[in-house]
Amino acid sequence: MNKKVLQASLVSLAIGTLYAPMASAIVITESFDAMELAESLLVPDSSIVINSATLSQSGLGQAGTFTNESGVYGIPSEGGVVLSSGLVKSYEDGPNTDSGFTGSFDTAATAEQNAMLTPLTGIQGHFDPVQLDISFTVNSVDPTTLTFFGVFGSEEWPEFVGGTVTDGFGLFLNGENIAGALPTGSSAGDPLLPINIDHPDMSDIRGTELDGVLAPNGNPQLRFDAPVQPGVNTFTFILADAGDSVLDTTIFLSSFGELGESEFVPILPDPSNPTDENGAFVFDLPEVQSGETIWIDPDVAAGYVYSTDGMFASVTAPSLASVNDPDGYVIEFLFEGVLQQIALAAGETFEFGINFDPVSTFTLSGINLDLGLDPTSPLAFVTGLSFVETGSFQVSQLPVTVFVPDNNSVPESPTLFMFGLVMAFWAGRKKLSAYYK
């Protein structure tokens, strides 16, 4: 006799449009309004009041807001703020046309700015700094955490790595830098390395004019958690060239955004009727525009059968930053009556229309039973979906169950046979990422 095991976790589901015509991806608007920039990062609500904001630039055009409809670098579509030691407008999406792009203002950093930057870069003198200071009040009796996501890149890489021009970025909360990134292979609790061009995980990731992007575990999204206290707090965002005033360095910064606009604030199933008669999670989505992404959040088992009243164009596996699983996953679907099984690496996108046809149902397998993730946590398992056409769709997710023999607990490194559609598959051990904490 077998016992049925169904272990709850969390999955976030990105709904977008892949094949529909798309507007420009990263669109940058220069801004000289410090309060506009502050409100793009700290959305005021009943618990947060922005008291003041100050922008210091070495030259016009070093700061701005942006949107990112096509998801370059994985930045949320609602965007945020962009800062550069050069001109921010130079770093909209597109090909890398010049390995030495620069917008030099030849402006030396102040003594106060050098005092903040030198511990981050190891360089005494800095040029062309851009700095955003925000004072805000947290109307709460308990400490809380504000989270930012950043993509850091530079034209200094790779030619000047290890030299005397270690451009860098700092995010100071109440005078203390909280920006850093664990290098690939590190464990939670290991020391963070500064955000600068000497970080060992700078990589050639295309998408803009930037030559190199900081991408621990292959993922360019950096996470910065800010443990703010009740009462008045201050943020200082600062970026600069180190040692000289040429070759730009740039950072894109985002926060969570509105409900459904990022994987960190997903839309949940209707609590009054979260599943259908088959036990599948059901989501009635708003209209999805070309290039728009909607995030939803059901509980998960070891796998799911995904179904829709539209046609799926692609599926994207979670990156190593979300789930530290280098073994990847398995996608199963029928093509001309034959079951297809496709290996999907972490962060990889599979397009059904290449070599096959778009589908209305498929199975994603390989979610480890040992994860035991909290269903209320917004940082567990992420799956991205896109549709062939623009429109409003309904998506259902039917949990795939796993049969484990009696008297056996789930083993440390299990071989699990998943009876999804027709075939069984092997599921290797998977570990949850520390997600740069």
- Boundary-marking domain end, from 219, 254, 289: 254
What pLDDT shows up at residue 221? 85
What pLDDT shows up at residue 169? 99
In terms of domains, do 235 and 291 share one? Answer: no
In terms of domains, do 85 and 199 share one? Answer: yes
The answer to whether residue 300 sits within a structural domain is yes
The structure tokens 């798309």 sit at: 22
Q: φ, ψ for residue 365 (rounded to 5)?
A: -120, 165
In terms of domains, do 198 and 329 share one? Answer: no
In terms of domains, do 218 and 244 share one? Answer: yes
Q: Where are the beta strands (DSSP E) in 73-119?
A: 80-84
Question: Which residues, in sequence order, are CB contacts of 248 under 8 Å at separation 6+?
Answer: 84, 85, 86, 87, 90, 91, 101, 102, 103, 154, 155, 241
Asked if 29 and 316 touch (Cβ cutoff 8 Å), the reply is: no
Pairing state of beta strands 381-387 and 195-196? unpaired
Pairing state of beta strands 195-196 and 168-173? antiparallel
Q: Closest Cα partner for 70 from 29, 37, 27?
A: 27
The answer to whether residue 146 sits within a structural domain is yes
Looking at the structure of the chain, the number of domains it has is 2
In terms of domains, do 122 and 270 share one? Answer: no
The answer to whether residue 437 sits within a structural domain is no
What pLDDT shows up at residue 208? 94
In a structure prediction context, what are the per-residue pLDDT tens digits for the chain, which is 437 residues long?
Answer: 332 222 233 334 444 433 333 344 799 999 999 999 999 998 766 688 999 999 999 999 999 999 987 778 877 777 899 999 999 999 998 888 888 889 999 999 999 999 999 999 999 999 999 999 999 999 988 888 888 989 999 999 999 999 999 999 999 999 999 999 999 988 878 899 999 999 999 999 999 999 999 999 888 889 898 999 999 999 999 999 999 999 999 999 998 654 555 555 555 666 666 667 776 667 666 666 554 555 555 554 566 788 888 899 888 877 665 666 677 889 999 999 999 999 988 778 899 999 999 999 999 888 766 655 443 343 456 677 888 888 878 888 776 655 434 443 333 322 222 222 222 222 222 222 222 22
In terms of domains, do 195 and 310 share one? Answer: no
The answer to whether residue 435 sits within a structural domain is no
What pLDDT shows up at residue 436? 26
Q: Is 372 left (phi over 0), alpha (psi -120 to 50) or beta?
A: left
In terms of domains, do 273 and 245 share one? Answer: no
What pLDDT shows up at residue 1? 32
- Boundary-marking domain end, from 254, 269, 304: 254
What pLDDT shows up at residue 349? 85
Q: Which amino acid is at 134?
A: I
Indicate the DSSP class of residue 287: P
In terms of domains, do 135 and 31 share one? Answer: yes
In terms of domains, do 186 and 46 share one? Answer: yes
In terms of domains, do 240 and 264 share one? Answer: no
Surface-to-core class of residue 74, CB atoms within 10 Å of its CB (0-12 exposed, 13-18 middle, 19+ buried): buried
The answer to whether residue 181 sits within a structural domain is yes
**Distance, CA of 199 to CA of 206 (rounded, Å):** 18
Q: Which residues pair with 195 in a beta bridge?
A: 169
The answer to whether residue 58 sits within a structural domain is yes
**Distance, CA of 318 to CA of 139 (rounded, Å):** 35
The answer to whether residue 410 sits within a structural domain is no
The answer to whether residue 418 sits within a structural domain is no
Furthest-apart CA atoms within the chain: distance in Å: 76
Domain range for 282 is 2-19+260-405
Q: What is the pTM of this model?
A: 0.66
- Boundary-marking domain end, from 254, 283, 312: 254
In terms of domains, do 280 and 160 share one? Answer: no
In terms of domains, do 34 and 7 share one? Answer: no
**Distance, CA of 17 to CA of 4 (rounded, Å):** 36
What pLDDT shows up at residue 147? 84
